[in-house]
Amino acid sequence: MPGQLRIITGIAAIALVAGAAAAFAVAWRPQIAAMAPPRPDTFDPDIVKRGRDLAAIGNCNTCHTVHGDGNYAGGLPVPTPFGTIFSSNITPDAETGIGSWPEEAFVRAMRSGVGRDGRHLYPTFPYDHFTNVSDADDRALYAFLMTRQPVHASPRANQLTFPLNYRPLIAGWKLLYLRSGDVPSDAAKGAEWNRGAYLVEGLAHCGACHTPRNALGAERVNAQFAGGDVDNWHAYALNDTSRAPVRWTADALYAYLRHGWQADHGTARGPMAEVVGNLATVADSDVRAIAVYMADVSGAPAPDRKSPTDAVAPSAAADATQANATGAAIYAAACASCHEGGRALPYGGVNLALSTAIAGPDPRNLLNIVLSGVGAVPGERSPIMPGFAASVDDAQMVALANYLRSKFGKRQLWKDVDKAVRDARAVQAASLAAGDAPADSSQRGKP
Amino acid sequence: MTTPVVLDRRSVLAGGGALIVSFSLRHAAAQQQKGPELPGSLAKTPNLDSWIRIDADGQITAFTGKAELGQGFRTAFQQIAAEQLDIAFDALKVITADTKLTANEGYTSGSHSMQDSGTAILHAAAQARALLVAEAAKRFDVPPDKLRTENAAVIAPDGRRLSFGELVASDMLHVQAQPTSSLKDPARFKVMGQPVPRVDIPAKVTGGVAYVQDMRLPGMVHARVVRPPSYGAQLAECDTAAIEKMPGVVGIVRDGNFLAVVAEKEFGAVKAMKALSAAAKWRESAKLPNQHDLANVLTALPSQDFAIFQRHDAAVSGARSLEATYTRPYQSHGSIGPSCAVAQFVDGAMTVWTHTQGVYPDRQAIAEMLGMPQSSVRLIHVEGSGCYGHNGADDAAADAALIARALPGRPVRVQWMREQEHGWEPYGPAMVTKLSASLDGSGKIADWNFAVWSNTHSMRPGGAGSLLAAQHMARSFAVPAPKPLPLPEGGGDRNAIPIYNFPNAHVMHHFIPAMPLRISAMRALGAYHNVFSIESFMDELAGLAGADPVAFRLNHLDDPRGRAVVEKAAQEFGWVSGRRAPQNRGYGFAFARYKNLAAYCAIATEVEVDPETGRARLVRAVAAVDAGQVVNPDGITNQIEGAIVQSTSWTLYESVTFDQARITSIDWQTYPILRFNAVPDSIAVHIINRPGQPFLGSGETGQGPAAASLANAIAHATGKRLRDLPLSRKRIKDAIDA
Amino acid sequence: MTIVKVNGRDHQVDADPDTPLLYVLRNDLALNAAKFGCGLGQCGSCTVIVDGKAVLSCVTPLLLVEGKQVTTLEGLGTVAAPAPIQRAFMEEQAAQCGYCIAGMMMRAQALLMRNPKPSDAQIRAELEPHLCRCGTHMRILRAVHRAARLMDTADAASDRSVR
């Protein structure tokens, strides 16, 4: 079904569900009886261990842990176009977490997005991907979560507008977008590729950020991995529309996902830093499988992109264009000493001719990094970049962004950079006001 | 039970440096015979006017050969002198280490400053006051005991008054000190024992000239050094023509593998240094060991083996036993301000302003490097950024001197870059300890075996070969052969001998002469790792005995001052035997007497460990310390607070990294240290004052106990014992997940 | 020649526009407070205030501060007439070697200017870019709290005791 038609159908269907009692049959799910929380020692430690790796692949802690609060206790506000949803407590606390959930309730939630009490869960919980997780893996995840420390904490109520706060509507959404058995499989591509497909399309839910969403917040099937939005960041396209100046290969992806940086592409930042932080603890074979599958997804490179064997020389900083002497001068004085300092990644600055942020479709990622910098991960070896929000004013920032775009991105200038600068500053200010500390050290064990 | 034997390595070495495996009581008895000695540094510099000067105009000055490193000595010495001279605190000045003005007190190290210099000033001031009073007694014709002193004057009962300036005669204080002084009764102290604000802080918080980095002499030029990329690299070629033409460049100094550039302005020097660095081509040959296998690397190196302690009681034997190996990586001093020096060569005389810890030994080394008589070289200590031992200070001084010689007349300021400080400072040595012990039927330790493998812990000058510049210059000086530091203070074996009353104990020091990495003295030397090992193992043994860690220690500790410190820390912490900590938290305890002869310190800690991430955080620490007679309680508190925070950083985070040839931990990205997120909620320091007792120094007493207390608290929180430093997040997580 | 406004005065300096502000302050203007620690924006020792915000002067080229107001620790007060932040650091004896302190004080000052009553967590988060090697952190935190109180009651009697 073509995407647009699907959206129209979707809207119609939701109207129907809202209006018609017939939909009750679709929307209704039985409650599963609560049980006393199982003792942690009733779980097989090997299965718990496997669940730990799977939870890392699933990036569960990113949404279900608020920095400084209890692990997996939920409460993280997830902004959506439809309002703010607060992540749930998935610790084994009987009252506020999932402690009273039998295994079948957990599996049902993963498979079809329904809580133990029979309520539909909002698809910010990416069950459109998790539906592809195998029974065995669901059981391991359950074992892992049920052996965590219970935290008694009720997340705040979601802030959604009517009629979206009416949960049976979700049933309609599911009718349209929840497809199990979506994982591509191809025996000819080998076990690694198929393992990668299973992880990427399922538990790792890469598309949740990297695929654009439609008006109803569902991933656009015909634009899979074409790039999406998360927080105030752009999640880059991973398919053949990728703007990465150097084509991604399986080896490059593996290194990036394993270590958090790769010489031809730079260092993972923003929400992706958390993903690679989690992957740092995952088995090599699974990281490799994800890389192999994603490299295949990324397809043939656009003609203007280079293969990894082509040299991408950093441009001499001095040859400022007349049009943008300010941007050139700022780059030469403030950026070049690290970005052309000759020190290798990840502790030297990336050659900006390799930067996807500068080649990307909008300046958000570049602005976020320049303004906020890259904070030290407490107590761990990690790249540090000073932020320039306090020393670079809006006009200087626009000049710098335009200079970098034309000089290193070799592309049309972005539109409305000044507005993007103001927006990025606003987000940064809000984050500072909230007292957000830098990313938790769990997020990066390497390099 | 035989009396324990502590073998002084000085006698061992004097006896030919042979491997000592057996010894007798007579050796020890011989060691204990000492002639009457003048107190503190008066022993080496006995004239009173080396310490106290009173001018006819009434100006009073105290001198110390020690260097203020941010510990607050200058203030403490001023308190001591003021108290014993019976004058107001701000009625005198203190002049610190300067080869032209002050006594030769060697290095400022080992928590010795209060013991050595403080004691000398204490007695010199008291004796100076006595001489002044005696002179006044003569002039007033009144017995001395009828006179009193006040506001730098001696006052007779009838109100007659002579100021110190009026009383002092030219040679009055140019006399040898007496072995004993009539010291003020501590009950009458007005200045000593008070938390007098530090004299150096006002300038530091208002942008005054406070550091050698802040010096600006007329006509001063700025230099930067280009160091080799790795140890032993040879400068193959370097085309300097383009760099010489850079704006503001005054010149390039090249002497063998020593390469530096001088410019009129500092940023010009930095730019030229970067260009010069790019132009220099080096031949590298360094072969560094595997950083992930230091325990095996170190124990496989050839060693000189010393049995340094033996106690034997055949009547006691153990049943249940434990053994464990603990390791420590190379660690950086990591001064926040890179090393700096200013030097000027005028009319054949070299003056160097430096933050060295030893102006006299560094002068000897620099004079030797330059081929100049020591009398033509003057070193003046000016404070730098905190050094915590032998960092780049001496090397920067040598750099400045070598460059200044090439530019006669012009003051040359050299400051190292961050990467140079991290890459070239001499590190705190990696160490391995192997312990085994067994418990008797009652749960007491019956026998104890301790072995430590370590390099020396001092490669300070002494000898030009200790200086990087001298090693790199064409007529290069070889690195001097390392020597183990003698007991009882020791180096790698500092605090290796247990303070506890084990009936059987055997301690071996495996001294490793080969130094794969450049190393030297870092705060507390071997005591940091040895105390970490002993006090961790004490907890392991307490666990085996089913005993409370504090009670277990007290059960093996006779020293009453040690017991008092342990009891005080436990009580103030609220230590309760067998108490379970809240979820994810743990309590730890550790104790040591620094060097077994200096300050006592016990530290109780509470830590929090995140079971998902493995991240450990010190929540609170409570310390008790006995540093003898207290001069400035706030100074001691500041030192102990600092020791706990610094040791937390060492213990949780820090290790020098390297590949096959090069050091790779060269900045704060690659050598992370504690930041504010990890600062504890609270630190409480409780001082047990010992009026009238000798000063014991407090700068290094807390590091070892803090490390072990943290390790014990982490073990309490997680049930897992970590024995390899640092106790990193990943190691803790791996242990939890195992 | 570039004109920089430092501590309320215009200064003509003969420095290239790419010169980091730190070197202009230390060498051209002979100011001591801002310190060279790393030159990489990793330690905070060089922090000064530019237009009310804390800035790492070692990675801020001169060209970025033209026309802006630069304030260094020298511009806040003197030993005889210390600013509240300086008084607070003296009263808490919040230094060992003190090399990192000037930078910390400037960031704390910027924080207190925009938030006169910061929580302990906010102070810690704000000081995150700053390193201290002596372990004086507890005193530094106390001093910032004290400075907030001093600013709040600017005319309150000074407590000159150490604690």
Listed ranges A1-10, A15-24, B363-372; the one with the highest mean pLDDT: B363-372
Asked if residue C128 and residue C102 are part of one domain, the reply reads: yes
Q: Is A359 a domain residue?
A: yes
User: Residue A411: which domain range?
Assistant: 315-443
Same domain, A119 and A45: yes
Q: Which chains share 3+ C-beta pairs under 8 angstroms with B?
A: A, C
Inter-chain residue contact B669 with A347, CB threshold 8 Å: yes
Residues C44 and C100 in one domain: no
Decide if B465 is inside a domain.
no
Picking from B166, B201, B236, the residue at the C-terminal end of a domain is: B201
Same structural domain, B411 and B533? no
Out of A88-97, A413-422, B165-174, B389-398, pick the least confident.
B165-174
- What's the mean pLDDT in A337-349? 93
Residue B16 lies in a domain: no
Cα separation, B431 vs B420, whole angstroms: 24
Candidates C15, C40, C86; nearest CB to B205: C86
Q: Are residues A257 and A338 in the same domain?
A: no
Residue B715 lies in a domain: yes
Interface check B218 vs C, CB under 8 A: no
- Predicted confidence at residue A28, as pLDDT, reads 76
**B675 interaction partners in chain A (CB closer than 8 Å):** 376, 378-379
Residue A265 counted as an annotated binding residue: no
Between chains, do B197 and C90 touch, taking CB under 8 Å as contact?
yes
Same domain, C97 and C66: no
A51/A172 same-domain check: yes
Q: Are residues A292 and A197 in the same domain?
A: yes
Nearest to C69 by CA among C123, C119, C155, C7: C7
Which of B79, B191, B201, B649 to mutate to probe the C interface, most C CBs <10 Å? Answer: B201
Q: Does A353 lie in the same domain as A229?
A: no
- For strands C69-71 and C47-50, give the pairing: antiparallel
| Rounded Cα distance, B332 and B649, in Å | 11
- Residue A8 pLDDT level (bands cut at 50, 70, 90): very low
- Please tell me the distance from the alpha carbon of residue A176 to that of residue B162, in angstroms, as a whole number: 104
CB atoms within 10 A of CB B116: 25
Residue A392 domain-assigned? yes
The CATH code of the domain that includes C17 is 3.10.20.30
- Please, which pLDDT band fits residue B288 given cuts at 50, 70 and 90? very high
B264 within some domain: yes
Are C70 and C11 members of one domain? yes
Residues B400 and B539 in one domain: no
Q: Scanning the structure block, which residue is given the tokens 């790393």?
A: C38
Q: Does one domain contain both A196 and A144?
A: no
Mean local confidence (pLDDT), A378-386: 95
Residues of chain A with pLDDT > 90, as a percent, come to: 72
| Spatial contact of A244 and A265, defined as CB atoms under 8 Å apart | yes
Domain residue limits at B277: 212-285+334-424
Whether residues C24 and C60 share a domain: the answer is yes
Beta-strand ranges (E) seen in B419-562 are 431-439, 445-454, 504-511
- Pairwise CB contact (< 8 Å): A442 & B728: no
Confidence grade of residue B15 (pLDDT, cut at 50, 70, 90): very low
CATH number at residue C100: 1.10.150.120
**CATH number of the domain that B114 lies in?**
3.30.365.10
Which of B202, B207, B336 has its CB closest to that of C133? B336
Residue A412: which CATH number?
Answer: 1.10.760.10
**pLDDT at residue number A323:** 61
Question: Is residue B229 located within the same domain as residue B110?
Answer: no
Residue A316 scores a pLDDT above 50: no
> d(Cα B23, Cα B31) in Å, to the nearest integer?
13
Whether residues C88 and C71 share a domain: the answer is no
| Total count of domains within chain A | 3
Residue B286 clears pLDDT 70, i.e. is over it: yes
C-alpha–C-alpha distance, residues B640 and B572, integer Å: 16
Q: Chain B closest CA to A189's CA: distance in Å?
A: 35
Q: Is residue A268 located within the same domain as residue A216? A: yes
Strands (E), B460-526: 504-511
pLDDT at C97: 97
ipTM of the complex: 0.94
Give the pLDDT of residue B647.
98
For the entire predicted model, the pTM comes to 0.93
The residue among B388, B408, B424 that closes a domain is B424
Q: Indicate if C59 and C120 belong to the same structural domain.
A: no
Same domain, yes or no: B529 and B633:
yes
The predicted model gives C98-119 an average pLDDT of 97
Q: Is residue B18 part of a domain?
A: no
Can you say whether residue C51 is alpha, beta or left, with left for phi > 0 and alpha for psi between -120 and 50 degrees? left
C43 lies in which domain range?
Answer: 2-75
| Among candidates A333, A390, A435 on the partner chain, residue whose Cβ is nearest the Cβ of C122 | A435
Q: What is the pLDDT of residue A439?
A: 39
What is the Cα–Cα distance from A425 to B720, expressed in whole angstroms? Answer: 45
Domain final position from A297, A325, A349? A297
Q: How far apart are CA C38 and CA C28, in angstroms?
A: 20
In a domain, residue B629? The reply is yes
* Residue B459 lies inside a defined structural domain of this protein: no
C17, C50, C125 ranked by CB distance to A390: nearest: C50
Has residue A47 been placed in a domain?
Answer: yes
For chain A, the average pLDDT equals: 87
Mean pLDDT of all residues in B537-565? 98
Q: Report the pLDDT value the prediction gives residue B204, as an integer from 0 to 100.
A: 97
Q: In C, which residues are within 8 Å of A438 by CB distance?
A: 128
Q: Say how far apart CA B371 and CA B360 lie, in whole Å.
A: 16
Residue located via tokens 């802030």: A159
Residue A32 falls within a domain, yes or no?
no
Average pLDDT, chain B: 94
Considering the domain boundaries, does residue A305 fall inside one?
no
- Beta-carbon separation of A376 and B668 below 8 A: yes
- In a domain? residue A303: no
Distances (CA, A) of A401 to A428, B106, B128, B155, C132: 17, 57, 71, 78, 34
Co-location of C150 and C112 in the same domain? yes
Using DSSP, state whether B514 is helix, strand or coil: coil
- Give contacts of C122 with chain A, Cβ < 8 Å: 435
Is the pLDDT reported for residue A47 higher than 80?
yes
Cβ–Cβ of B207/C33 closer than 8 Å?
yes
Residues on A contacting C at a C-beta cutoff of 8 Å: 329-330, 332-334, 338, 373, 375-376, 384-386, 389-392, 396, 435-438
Structurally, chain B folds into a number of domains equal to 3
Model confidence at A437: pLDDT above 90: no
Which of C22, C43, C50, C59 to mutate to test binding with chain A, by most A CBs within 10 Å of its CB?
A: C59
Question: Look-up: residue for tokens 């593996």?
Answer: A254
CA dihedral A63, A64, A67, A70 (to 10 degrees): 180
Q: Is the pLDDT of residue B697 over 90?
A: no
The reply to whether C132 and C115 lie within a common domain is yes
Give C157's pLDDT tier (boundaries 50, 70, 90): very low
Residue, of A10 and C121, whose pLDDT is higher: C121
Task: Give the number of domains in chain C.
Answer: 2
Measured in angstroms, the CA of C77 and the nearest CA of chain B are apart by 7
Q: Is the peptide bond before A92 cis (omega within 30 degrees of 0)?
A: no
Q: Higher confidence at residue A32 or residue A13?
A: A32
Q: Point out the least confidently predicted range of A429-433, B62-66, B410-414, B672-676.
A: A429-433
Report the range of poorest mean pLDDT among A266-275, B255-264, B470-479, B681-690.
Answer: A266-275
- Considering the domain architecture, whether residues A106 and A222 belong to the same structural domain is answered as no
Hey, which residues does A438 pair with through a beta bridge? none
Instruction: Give the model confidence (pLDDT) of B189-248 as tens digits.
Output: 999 999 999 999 999 999 999 999 999 999 999 999 999 999 999 999 999 999 999 999
Residue A281 sits in the same domain as residue A374? no
Task: Give the burial class of B302: count Cβ atoms within 10 A of its Cβ; 0-12 exposed, 13-18 middle, 19 or more buried.
Answer: exposed
B241 and B158 share one domain = no
Instruction: State how far the Cα of A246 lies from the Cα of A223, in Å rounded to an integer.
Output: 22
Q: Give the residue among A224, A257, A258, A263 at the shortest CA–CA distance from A242.
A: A224
Query: Same domain, yes or no, for A48 and A170?
Result: yes
Domain end, chosen from B386, B406, B424, is at: B424
